[in-house]
Amino acid sequence: MTASGCGGTGRELAQFYDVMRLGAFVTRSITMAPRAGRPTPRMAETPSGLLNAVGLQGPGVDAFLEQELPWLAERGARTVVSIGGGTVAEYTALARRLADAPGVAAVEINLSCPNVEDRGRVFARDGSAAAEVVASVRAATRYDVPVIAKLSPDVADIVAVARSCVDGGADALAMINTPVGMSIDVDTMRPSLAAGTGGLSGPAVRPLAVRCVWQVHAALPGVPIVGMGGVTTGRDALELILAGACAVAVGTALFHDPYACPRILRELEELLQERGFDRLADAVGLAHRPPGSAPRNRTDLEESSL
Amino acid sequence: MAGSPVQVTGTVLTTRRVDAYHALTVVAPGIADRYRPGHFVTVAVGGPTTSMLTRRAFAIHDVKPDYGGTVELVFTVRGAGTAWLADLRARDTLDLVGPLGRPFPLPRDPCTCVLVGGEYGSASLFSLGDALQQRGCRIDFVLGAAGADRVFGALRARRMGETTTLTTEDGSLGMRGRVTDVLPGVIADARADVVYACGPMDMLRGVTAVAAEFDIPVQVAVEERMACGIGVCMTCVVPVIGDDGVTRMVRACTDGPVFRGERVRFDDVGTIPFDALGAPGGRHA
Ligand SMILES: Cc1cc2nc3c(=O)[nH]c(=O)nc-3n(C[C@H](O)[C@H](O)[C@H](O)COP(=O)(O)OP(=O)(O)OC[C@H]3O[C@@H](n4cnc5c(N)ncnc54)[C@H](O)[C@@H]3O)c2cc1C
Ligand SMILES: Cc1cc2nc3c(=O)[nH]c(=O)nc-3n(C[C@H](O)[C@H](O)[C@H](O)COP(=O)(O)O)c2cc1C
Ligand code: FES
């Protein structure tokens, strides 16, 4: 599947292949009102990484429901709608607007938004604020539409935030959103991004993503995790799956290779086959098994599968 | 869709130096067929294990039908990505996506056009000139740069254009100064109906102001930092006034790079104008 904010409206990728072929299309985070985002430059390349400060530019929920969602539904894309807000009430209102819209496969809550009621502290840093958002979005969403809470790695204890979100009613967790980074242009001696800081993505953050998925899966093995952060190949996707993710999203890699999603899926299928897995589910969290318990051959793997 | 982009692994046919620039010809069939003047391509740099995640954007200078279709790029070495490109040799491969962006609109009836290029910006003007001449238009060139070796395509301009005026800031070629110093004279002499321009933002702002004085339309091709080039990342936005009079932050890669000059709010590039749609604290927020 695509990572939020990295697949445009879907139409852009559809120039290259059918969006129905994606496991799921995750929209950029939708806000109530249209947002112009941050000034440019909005991006800076770093070694194996990308800093971005787009600032949730988007047309607002009305235009999204009118122009973007119906198009995705028509194309048969499984659409996960990401929502972003500044207050619990805004998230709730967004969830209500989505509740009657056809074609929403799941709602993903982007918790890395500044909470305007808490001096701009992002929701994802505070377990109780995150849980409050999750609970009210869950209550406003149709019972058969899963709610996914998307976590930030910029926290002291990601397991605690994950647990609060699950207690608040999250059906699944997505991780990781971009950690905050910065780069300074030594020629101009100014920050490279107009906004100063930005979110770091790409392979540079993959070890961070693996660690977060690993810790949360270890603590909450029954909760489905959508893993993301720096996935550019099937091997990278498998790494997150072995850490405990049951689905993998691809973001920055799409900028380099518009075909990244179908290519990574193909590579992953080949890797799973080579290793003798019949189903992806058998590989989920497998790296957690005690050392030496499962040599890499088919029968042993079957015994050790969850 | 005729204009829809493709990804191809092209083979480098030739590399050459043109004054301060590098020119790279790559066999890229699907891209050459779909090309219109003003289109650009993005290339992956650094090879298969690269740590450079974003593709680099380059205007297409020329396409030729040889070997099923070739495209030529002209570039200057700026950082690590363009340095890697400059080291490519014939028979190396290059991953390209294109053609991208909205090309230059062409006039329906023959008219007189002034083509203004700054630095490597002139690279995209020659195929545009060809297309205009095929429609019976008269074309005049104004090319400028910091110094003589950075004025791209002066010879070709002299061959194609009714007149060609060159400017350099150090006076090493043509008139000393900037393109905007000579542009009013060229427009007046040619009785130009329209201006096309490609080059640095500052130059485009100046050219747009001159065209506005003469009350003639101007089409500009802008350059903004791009991470994807295909419209998915929203990093390349510029403030542009829409048909409804509302300013929006639009993507230079898919809504541009060619815009009507008078619609681009050059003074506000690099900011979010307070009256833009969705601006913080703005009237639509
Ligand atoms: C539509 C378009 C057409 C262009 N056509 C040409 C051309 O014909 N010839 C030419 O020499 N250059 C052209 N450029 C500029 C070219 O893309 C940059 O010079 C190049 O990306 C620099 O890469 P680098 O790795 O050498 O530099 P670095 O500074 O190391 O690049 C770092 C990052 O910044 C981005 N970046 C830096 N400068 C620019 C810039 N000016 N525009 C866009 N992204 C930038 C790069 O893509 C990269 O992600 C064009 C840019 C655009 C947007
Ligand atoms: C340009 C850009 C825009 C993004 N926009 C959003 C967004 O709107 N909402 C969100 O939840 N995450 C957003 N993200 C974060 C990604 O969804 C993803 O969590 C992160 O980039 C890590 O994955 P990657 O390394 O595969 O890109 C964005 C990332 C980038 C690079
Ligand atoms: S470069 Fe990504 S949207 Fe324009």
Q: Can A113 be counted among the known catalytic residues? A: yes
ipTM of the complex: 0.85
- Which one of A113, A165, A246, A261 is the catalytic residue? A113
Tell me which residue of B95, B43, B229, B4 sits closest to A263, measured CA to CA.
B95
Lowest mean pLDDT among A114-123, A174-183, B169-178: A114-123
Give the one of B51, B225, B279 whose C-beta lies nearest to A40's C-beta.
Answer: B225
- What local confidence, expressed as pLDDT, does residue A295 receive? 47
Question: What percent of chain A stands above pLDDT 70?
Answer: 96
SS3 B102: strand
Residue B16 has pLDDT above 60, yes or no: yes
Residue B141 has pLDDT above 90, yes or no: yes
Predicted confidence band of residue B3 (pLDDT cuts 50, 70, 90): low
Phi and psi at residue A12, in whole multiples of 5°? -65, -40
B94: left (phi over 0), alpha (psi -120 to 50) or beta: beta
What domains can be seen in chain A, in order of their start residue?
Answer: 11-303 (3.20.20.70)
The ligand whose atoms approach the alpha carbon of B220 most closely is 1
- What is the reported pTM? 0.89
Picking from A25, A26, A28, A45 by the largest number of B CB atoms within 10 A of its own CB, the best residue to mutate is A45
Cβ-based neighbours of A260, under 8 Å, separated by 6 or more? A232, A250, A253, A254
Residue A84 has pLDDT above 50, yes or no: yes
Predicted confidence band of residue A305 (pLDDT cuts 50, 70, 90): very low
pLDDT tens per residue across span A230-280: 999 999 999 999 999 999 999 999 999 999 999 999 999 999 999 999 999
pLDDT tens per residue across span A214-235: 999 999 999 999 999 999 999 9
Residues of A at the B interface, defined by Cβ within 8 angstroms = 5-8, 12-13, 15-16, 28, 33-43, 45, 47-50, 52, 54, 57-60, 194, 202-203, 252-259
Contact of A164 with A7, CB cutoff 8 Å = no
Q: What is the C-alpha to C-alpha distance for residues B34 and A2, in angstroms, rounded to an integer?
A: 28
Q: How close A176 comes to chain B (CA, Å)? A: 18
What domains can be seen in chain B, in order of their start residue?
Answer: 6-100 (2.40.30.10), 112-221 (3.40.50.80), 227-285 (no CATH)
- What local confidence, expressed as pLDDT, does residue A194 receive? 86
A75, HSE (Cβ side, Cα atoms, 13 Å):
21
Tell me which residue of A181, A186, A164, A183 sits closest to A173, measured CA to CA.
A164
For residues B159-167, average pLDDT: 92
Residue B251 CA: distances (Å) to CA of A158, B204, B222, B223, B224: 35, 17, 11, 11, 9
